[in-house]
Structure 1
């Protein structure tokens, strides 16, 4: 797709410990077991297994529905933080701390199996750039997840749903957020064993803690693998339109590079301030990647991809490097995309590079 860049730093790899290997194998086994467990037995099954595998840790807590109802004021509208196809997220207060309570739709996009997979994933996978799961509720037909509360919402809130009186994200903060998201994926791809493919990276799933520290959330669609000599995981195509890698959409074959493509889409959103899909724009501009493709082919037009809300306040060299990273991640051929560890290294360089040219205020000189 975009062959005008060559920017690939050396990979940095960390081998998993024996404990991580054992934990990862147990995770894979549990996720597979969930497929054959009956719905009526799942709640006790999952709770028992989490306790078994989380020895020495603080496992996810099993909440009752009355507890969470009380914490959210009976799920009152004033506590509503957001709403999507999966259900609603409420702010709650429990035992002296703020919590985020995600009440899944009973017939929503995230089914019973996905709910339990997310509980298992976040009970076993721990990293500063993954959201912390406090607990869950599976009373009757209720399926609820309880997370640490993210005071700054999501990347979507600050980038794509910006209110008129809200200050847009500056360049340095945008690069920090991109690096944090990439680090979360790097943990899932390179340190978790077996690896985990996130499968649904998008701006609304990148949550922001204090100082815009990133936490990836919503692991219901995540997949374990590939394991051994397998190169991919075959699965039904799920995710969000506009973010899915083309080969995954065509074949259902999921790889780590599928996540790298999705990251490229999100990173391009961060650079441009445009949504992956925006039906409010003219037909030729509704699909972000299609809109950007001719611009990537002409260096004189690169600057047209900068978010106007940045008002030219970004280092020109860093801007070009950011576009190079996005272009590599968005290669049509999956094998041509960089490893996420390479992306992390590149973003670390971009995020810390000096403000070489101050501002790109004089576009005419380009």
Structure 2
């Protein structure tokens, strides 16, 4: 029997990053309930808060109010010349989430930024968000993305800064609005560092009136997500045009399954760790990714080139009877090293290693009826053969 020669070049590309929001710990939280309403915030807590020019009690220092709040009874109002800063300890590694609630009365403006460095006129911005008139919003981080918001309601702002990968995301009301290279959020001369939050009463166009409220400000440290790709990918062939891919699952939580791509086209999503592909002559790039609840890994690649014809070891192995009921015999002209039997959901039903023999008998009385797949490793290579148990 003639057999097409299959040459397989195997490379594995590992996942770089992901952004699952797994909480590692709370760094800071302020719901503004512990302060005296009607008094300025930084005067009451200069340890955690400051103003742009480090001037507690000045016009930059905002007041605590008890007439509007998201939780409890108090929040902080940003209006007039207020310029509030929450300094952060210039983190240069790790992943952090900044979140807070914001409320903008109808007809007014809102604004905040997140800093790479807080240092007065030498400060560096990582991103800015403008809440302009008529419910138009824009997030500026390397590029500008526009969105809409509503007056007279509390909404969520979430900023994720991944310093390990120099990447950031902005979520408005839990919807991803923008993502960008963090160090280039304000300019190309920025730095990969997290240095603070700034709430400024800023009218960008000079035609409106800034006025907004902040509540439940929080900084969290986030776990680095695990998005590893499939591991230890291998292959074997069943017939001249059929390839069986196999791999080990990655050691990451929240794994849903695997995507199979051929030449960049998604052809299947599966939950098992093997996949049968039928291919004609040619060159193919096959990618297998791990799919998680919050993202997808990079590819584990295999390039398959089907180029020629030659005698194959398939012709040297006999499996009988097929179909089988009580037992299966395997006879080979070359020594057998190991045998695995899979059902067609990819589960291993039987596994024998270190055989070092030319014949093997498998009792099948206890097997469920159906189609099975033998993976037979010999001294000259690996083959697969289908059998039916009735």
Q: TM-score range by the shorter chain?
A: under 0.3
TM-score normalised by L of structure 2? 0.24
Q: Which has the higher strand share?
A: 2
Q: Which has the higher helix share?
A: 1
